[in-house]
């Protein structure tokens, strides 16, 4: 494989791995949306916030290492943040 081919494979692999991790967080959000438990137990919110923070660090590393474009990383994080905001709004309405 040539250097550009290796770079492309690494870009694709990094993006795929990040998308898999984002999907796991999406599933956590979906479960919470389906159950809409009250905010009186903040554990779930803390888990989601911790997952989001860890994921943002993963994305930051991938961007700084040149494995993905900054815009691609921002798009993945923004999508998760929008979904998380919808969840928190729904919890606020319920609570």
Could you give the CA distance from residue 77 to residue 56 in angstroms, rounded to a whole number?
7
Q: Domains, the chain, ranges and CATH?
A: 3-94 (1.10.287.750)
Name the CA dihedral angle for 88, 23, 61, 15, rounded to a multiple of 10 degrees: -140
The more confident residue out of 18 and 30 is 18
Using alpha carbons only, give the angle 72, 2, 71 rounded to the nearest 5 degrees: 10
Quote the pLDDT of residue 40: 54
- pLDDT, one tens digit per residue, over 18-28 is 999 999 999 98
CA distance 66 to 93: 41
pLDDT in tens, 33-73: 777 655 555 677 788 889 999 999 999 999 999 999 999 99
């Amino acid at each position: 494989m040539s250097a550009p081919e290796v770079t492309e494979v690494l870009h694709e692999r990094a993006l795929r791995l990040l998308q898999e991790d984002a999907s796991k967080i999406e599933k956590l959000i979906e479960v919470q949306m389906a159950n809409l438990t009250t905010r009186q137990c903040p554990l779930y919110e803390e888990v989601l916030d911790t997952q989001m923070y860890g994921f943002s660090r993963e994305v930051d590393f991938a961007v700084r290492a040149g494995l993905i474009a900054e815009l691609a990383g921002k798009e993945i994080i923004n999508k998760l943040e929008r979904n998380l905001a919808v969840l928190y709004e729904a919890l606020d309405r319920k609570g």
